[in-house]
Amino acid sequence: MSRKGNCWDTPVAESFFKTIKHKKLNRYKFSSIEQVRKVVYEYIERWHNRMRIHSSLVYKTPLEKELELGLIANKLKDVAERFVALFL
């Protein structure tokens, strides 16, 4: 998130909410808040995070990017542990 006065994250958030409203929420009539929660959850977890590629993530899904960053972090941790072991 950006600091107060910087609006760098605003277009991303506005785009996300516009898309979810257009693709999911405006197409149905809901009778309960639980139905809305279920539709929003399914959209985010099943489509947005797992299948939709994002140009800001070098055309990867958020899940792919998260796994990639986790692997990189694990490799850096292993390298750091080996480095420390050399001097003990």
Q: Which pLDDT tens digits describe the chain residue by residue (88 residues)?
A: 556 666 666 777 888 889 888 888 888 889 999 999 999 998 888 888 888 888 888 899 888 988 898 888 888 888 888 888 877 6
**Does residue 2 lie within any of the structural domains?**
no
Question: What is the structure's pLDDT at 7?
Answer: 67
Question: What is the structure's pLDDT at 88?
Answer: 67
Question: What is the structure's pLDDT at 38?
Answer: 92
* Distances in whole angstroms, Cα of residue 32 to Cα of each of 19, 38, 39: 21, 10, 11
**What secondary structure letter does DSSP report for 32?**
S
Question: What is the domain range of residue 64?
Answer: 10-86
**Does residue 3 lie within any of the structural domains?**
no
Q: What is the pTM of this model?
A: 0.59
**Does residue 23 lie within any of the structural domains?**
yes
How many CA atoms within 13 Å lie on the side-chain side of 63?
Answer: 9
**Does residue 5 lie within any of the structural domains?**
no
**Does residue 41 lie within any of the structural domains?**
yes
Q: How many domains does the chain have?
A: 1
